[in-house]
Structure 1
Amino acid sequence: MAVTALTDRTYYDGTYKSAMGECTIPSTAFDKWSINASNLVRMYTYGNIDETIEISEGVQMCVCELAEHLYSCNQRDSESDSSVASEKDGTWSASYKDRKTVEQEDSMKSVSVVRTWLANTGLLYCGV
């Protein structure tokens, strides 16, 4: 079984960019991040997305925004190994969040993106 994304670069560059403004994921990296985002969406929706029919616009927008979030987290992490929690200007000082806190915040943001796009679709229902 091939791993596939729930959206493609054409949708990202067209519809998503028109609605949201800017696309930050480079063309060469989009497939990786859209597959990662699609797998998270599949997990959060408990497999409720019927992939045998056309994927809804809400799901595709969710995957695009989640891919953007995952990509930006990766970029941040590759530039530094921690995030600034606070700074002070006079006799400069900075404090940093620990890695676990940053990962929890990233995870909460991922859940928030999925809920924002899919809360009213019935796809997040885990019951019988």
Structure 2
Amino acid sequence: ECCEVEMEDPVDPIPISYIDEDNAENPLAVTEYVQDIYSMYRGRENIIFVPADYMWEQININERMRVILIDLLIELVGVTAMLLAFKYEELSIPVVDDFVQISDKAYSREEMLEM
């Protein structure tokens, strides 16, 4: 037997953990605003969101093109992360041709240097 159940929004929001506990003594970290920022964005989650039919509205981008674009963006993030890691660790100088190879030659050497 099936019955209808009415769903209610929770009255109390999910508690926000204090992620900046380690930086509490650092005045430059402005940790006193963390709770306000999290609360503001948590409140906007119900108002601002991507519609379920978002891709159907995109006439210039089909599903295959979107997959390719996301792959390219992930490759860019990966290359950027590696550049930051090289800069932070200062183990060796990164070679641009290595990044071209890592990105599966999606970008030329010149394009990589432009970024």
Relative to its length, the structure with more strand (as a share) is: 1
Instruction: Please identify the structure whose Cα radius of gyration is greater.
Output: 2
Structure with larger RCO (C-alpha < 8 A, sep 6+):
1
Give the TM-score, by structure 1 length: 0.30
- Structure-2-length-normalised TM-score: 0.32
